[in-house]
Chain A
Amino acid sequence: MRAGIDMRHITLTLMRDDLPRASLVLAELEAFAPDERPLLESELPEIPGTAFRARMRRAWGHLDRLASVLGELPDTAPDKPRALLSREQLIEIDRWLAEAWQHCSPCEDGLHRLEDEFRDLRHLEQSLNDFADLDVDLSRLQGGKGLLDIRIGSIPADNLDRLSEVLALSQHLILNVSGEGEALRIVIAGTQQTAEILDRVLLAAAYQALTIPESFDDNPDALRAELQTRRSDLEQQCAQWRSRMAGWLKLNGEQLRQAKQLLEAAEPYVHLHGAARSRGSLAALQGWIPGSRLDAVESALQKNLSQPFLLQSRSPRSDEMHLVPVPVKTRGILKPFSLLVQQYGVPRFGEFDPTILFAVTFAGMFGMMFGDVGHGAVIVITGILLRRRLHSFTYLFALAGASAMLFGWLYGSVFGVEHWLHPLWIAPMSDPIYMLTVALGWGVAFLTLGSAIAIVNRLLSGDQAGAFFGPGGVLPLILYFALLGGLVNLAQGNDFPIVATAVIAITLTILIAHQWHSSDAPYGERIMITIIETYEIINGYATSSLSFLRVAAFSLNHVALSLAVFTLADTMDTVGHWIVIVLGNLFVIVLEGFIVAIQTLRLEYYEGFSRYFYGDGKPFKPLRVGRTQTY
């Protein structure tokens, strides 16, 4: 239950020549996370592979750019044994990729140029349509006549307001705006005197002038045909560039694929960074490995390394607990719950891993709020039918549905009908107060368990003050029980017990004193912090306990909704009755099921995790083959 408890720190001492091979072996096993602390700096001052790493970056840079022009590059063959990339091979690959890019980059430029030309052509066509209905000779206006300066063109839509404001200051006006989206077509008018100033402003505004063809006024059909010819010509040029690229890829695809495969195989070595150190021909590698994988790692190294090596392992020291990466569960029935836990955070090393508790309590609370044999069965069947889409979340559907079915039996409810089954426990509507009391009791138990886990977690991480005085710690828990005991007595018609009063007074005093001493802020701030923090502790327990009333409220809500469906159905004829029954049940399953799932998750995150789960651990990210991380 304690996260990552079998993690070991290893130091692998080996010959420097074997380092790339060792990193590839470790990456293939996916069992090793590098530790980049300079622990071995004094004995092994060098970080190997610095020049290699720089060359790899360049090579990947060329390859990425080629991919952006050529599209998806041919995939590497996964089953083929991976060859190691030597320094000489890398230089050769880098050189070849640079040449390939030199060959392909004109295509990229050409395609971008064509894109721009297409855009201009589109603007021209749209502008001509805009002005076609106006009784104005645009070609005569273009460039202006005499004292008048007229411009027709387009600007990015974002710039319109600013340009309008500035043009007004320089005796120019925007006469007409058309178009929508990112670019707008505009007509600007002003005096020739300030034309030069206008030119500079328009440059800053990314204005693009529109050239009106002379044939626009006298022969519009000829112009349309001319524009169509231009469009076809551009499309042809595009096709030519693309075919040139496809031809190049056909000739060089295999070499490109091999280059990519070799670069990917060298990635683990490159990603070691400071985790590998060397001096002369000796090198060492350090990092974290799950203890259960240690034997497999050792035997794989023995099988693959040509020269002797020494693998030493030890448990994490107390000063490095916060650095130990924690593997997260990604398989089996717990996978969806583990993913939901990770949404909140990753457990610290040695911290209580809440995944199992989360799975059990999630299913329990969902079932209690949504108890119905029929509706639960529909959820299970839906999960199974959608398993290809839901992947691991099929388990969550199955578990939640099964729990709803179980509680359905306890409540005696099938598709909202309460007389087909005799309740094994209670029909919620028969005694709402009892249901609310049970929910409150469950909340108290849940919060107590959460506090107990929080105390243990804090003690394990050396935070003794937090374990005793922090939210959910020993003292707040005693205070909570005293308050609870007193209130139960009051509810039963008795006086608030003197013992409870004394315990509350003592614990509150200690908590206030602790808050005061642990703050080094100025007096005013200190008073505020003490009041707020103490208030938060009491208020936190009170609101959290009441929060669990929703568990009972939703079980009552479920019955009430079903009743509403039946009442509505009873007002219909036979066909209408069954339509309302089916649609009503669907409505209950989808809408209420969704709301209940969210409410359960909320209770888990806010009332559970926030109490006992640090969630600030480092996830175990093993070295992997291929390009999985950036430099």
Chain B
Amino acid sequence: MRRFTDQAYVRTRLAIMGTKLLSREEFAKLVAMSLDELSAASRFDTISGESNAARLITFERTLMQTWLDELSALLRPLKGSARRLLTHWASRYEVLNIKALVRGKIGQLPNEEIEKTLFRLPGFLSLNHDQLLNTDNVVELLRQLQKTPYQRLATQALRRYEERPDPFLLDATLDQQFYGELIDRAHHLSGTDRAEILALIGRIVDGHNLVWSLRYRYNYGLQASEVLYLAIDGGRALDRSRLQEMLHADTLAEALGHLPDGVPGHGEMPRQIPLIEATMRNELFAYATRAMRHSPSALTSVLSYLVLRYSGINQLYTIVHARVYGLSDELLHEALDPLHEEAA
């Protein structure tokens, strides 16, 4: 993005859109509201449907649509590699759909059940879910997927699944392929855009690698080499040799002792994996907030905004969902902010 007017357009749009990001205090206010107040504040009351479940599906779809509309507005001045990178980022939600489809097929769930868990994406990102749902098993699903733009991803996943039908191995393959392609696209950018965007993506990958490597190694009992193979390239502070150092430890606590300096929360990392995940997420959001406001690369600011906005939308949906189904405050707080709950 070189033209001054394009940069100005994006910055102006971001400045306006940034006001939609809710602070921790604003979320706390939403949590404290009654269902009626919350429905009015979140515009859930404008959604009609046969049941609350149907209304929640429409609500989720509306929120997702909002996110996608904002993405489209921000994509407008972008061309070439920058545009391809952001479009690929948006396809992340279709990768989540593929994972949900795979899990559903492994669990032999009815198609209607699987469908409820899928994101509804616009045409340019979306697969034909009907075709994928109408398959008898994971292998047939992946073969169908080979006939789509996700062919490369599906071919790898199919080969691994045929060798060893482990759902987590499939998940890891899908993530590896997705981030691999994302980083590849980031390398096609030039100058400041490339350095800044790789710094942001590197943090996202670090969080992913740390959490999943610990899970694979200490919860699922995988060998260190295997975990290393499943790690994603392109991390910022956690490259493969750093991870190797950590994963040769016998216990999670020992492994955390080998955390490199560059990893956020180093020295004070909690000992439970969900809390480690929350720590890494919080650090990422803090970095994304700074990058959105101050990064010299407008593209990085856009991606930061999209990351933050999606998280905000997710939290709003979680609050409404919890209130509609009458979940306890304790559970809701734990879902929204496990670190805060742990400290309390």
Residue numbers of A with Cβ under 8 A of B are 38, 41, 54, 57-58, 60-62, 64-65, 105, 112, 156, 158-159, 162-163, 165-166, 169-170, 182, 197-198, 200-201, 203-208, 521-522, 525, 528-529, 532, 536, 630-631
Contacts and interface: CB of A to CB of B under 8 A. Distances in A.
A166 B225 contact: yes
Contact of A169 (B130, B222, B225): B225
B225 A200 contact: yes
Contact of B229 (A57, A64, A163): A163
B156 interface: yes
Contacts of B134: 57-58, 60-62, 64-65
B160 A204 contact: yes
23 contacts: A57-B130, A60-B130, A60-B134, A61-B130, A61-B133, A64-B131, A112-B143, A156-B156, A166-B229, A166-B240, A182-B155, A197-B223, A198-B225, A200-B222, A201-B225, A203-B226, A205-B229, A206-B159, A207-B163, A521-B16, A525-B16, A529-B12, A529-B15
B228 interface: yes
Contacts of B8: 528, 532
Given A206-B163, A532-B12, A165 B240 contact: yes
Given A158-B156, A197-B226, A521-B16, A630 B128 contact: yes
A61 B129 CA distance: 11
A631 B130 contact: yes
B17 to A, nearest CB: 10
Given A162-B229, A200-B223, A41 B48 contact: yes
B240 A204 contact: no
Nearest to B4: A532
Given A532-B12, A536-B5, A169 B223 contact: no
A517 B152 CA distance: 51
A204 B229 contact: yes
B43 interface: no
B15 A203 contact: no
B169 interface: yes
A116 B226 CA distance: 25
A197 B225 contact: yes
Contacts of A198: 225
Contacts of A158: 152, 156, 180
B337 interface: no
Given A112-B143, A169-B225, A203 B164 contact: yes
Contact of B159 (A41, A156, A200, A521): A156
B136 interface: yes
A62 B164 CA distance: 28
A203 B159 CA distance: 9
Interface of B: 5, 8, 11-12, 15-16, 19, 48, 112, 128, 130-131, 133-136, 143, 152, 155-156, 159-160, 163-164, 169, 172, 180, 222-223, 225-226, 228-230, 233, 240-241, 244
A200 B160 CA distance: 11
A305 to B, nearest CB: 28
5 nearest CB pairs, A to B? A61-B134, A206-B159, A525-B15, A170-B225, A200-B226
Contacts of B130: 57, 60-61, 630-631
A331 B172 CA distance: 52
Given A41-B48, A162-B229, A204-B229, 12 more contacts: A54-B112, A57-B134, A61-B133, A105-B136, A163-B229, A166-B228, A198-B225, A200-B226, A203-B160, A204-B172, A206-B160, A630-B128
A54 B228 CA distance: 44
Nearest to A102: B136
Contact of B226 (A58, A61, A201, A207): A201
B103 to A, nearest CB: 19
A38 B15 contact: no
Contacts of A41: 48
Contacts of B133: 61
B136 A156 contact: no
Output the residue of B11, B180, B225 with the most chain A CB within 10 A. Answer: B225
Contact of B240 (A62, A169, A631): A169
Given A521-B16, A631-B130, A201 B160 contact: no
Contacts of A630: 128, 130
A521 B229 contact: no
A62 B11 CA distance: 50
Contacts of A38: 48
A58 B143 CA distance: 19
Nearest to B180: A158
A67 to B, nearest CB: 11
A54 B12 CA distance: 46
A58 B130 CA distance: 9
Contacts of A163: 229
A206 B156 contact: yes
B112 A203 contact: no
Contacts of B164: 203
Contacts of A207: 163
Contacts of A54: 112
Nearest to B226: A200
Contacts of B163: 203, 206-208
A158 B133 CA distance: 28
Output the residue of A62, A165, A208 with the most chain B CB within 10 A. Answer: A165
A529 B233 CA distance: 40
Contacts of A162: 229, 233
A567 to B, nearest CB: 39
Given A162-B233, A536-B5, A204 B169 contact: yes
A139 B155 CA distance: 30
A205 B244 CA distance: 18
A170 B226 CA distance: 10
A499 to B, nearest CB: 32
Nearest to B112: A54
A197 B227 CA distance: 11
Nearest to A65: B134
Nearest to B169: A204
B289 to A, nearest CB: 16
A41 B47 CA distance: 13
Contacts of A105: 136
B12 A528 contact: yes
A536 B77 CA distance: 15
A54 B169 CA distance: 33
B3 to A, nearest CB: 12
Contacts of B244: 169
A201 B231 CA distance: 12
Contacts of B15: 521-522, 525, 528-529
A139 to B, nearest CB: 24
B263 to A, nearest CB: 20
Nearest to A532: B8
A54 B115 CA distance: 12
Output the residue of B5, B11, B160, B169 with the most chain A CB within 10 A. Answer: B160
Contacts of A631: 130
Contact of B19 (A62, A64, A521): A521
Contacts of A60: 130, 134
A40 B203 CA distance: 51
Nearest to B5: A536
Nearest to B222: A200
A65 B141 CA distance: 11
A105 B223 CA distance: 38
A629 to B, nearest CB: 11
B226 A204 contact: yes
A201 B229 CA distance: 7
A522 B230 CA distance: 46
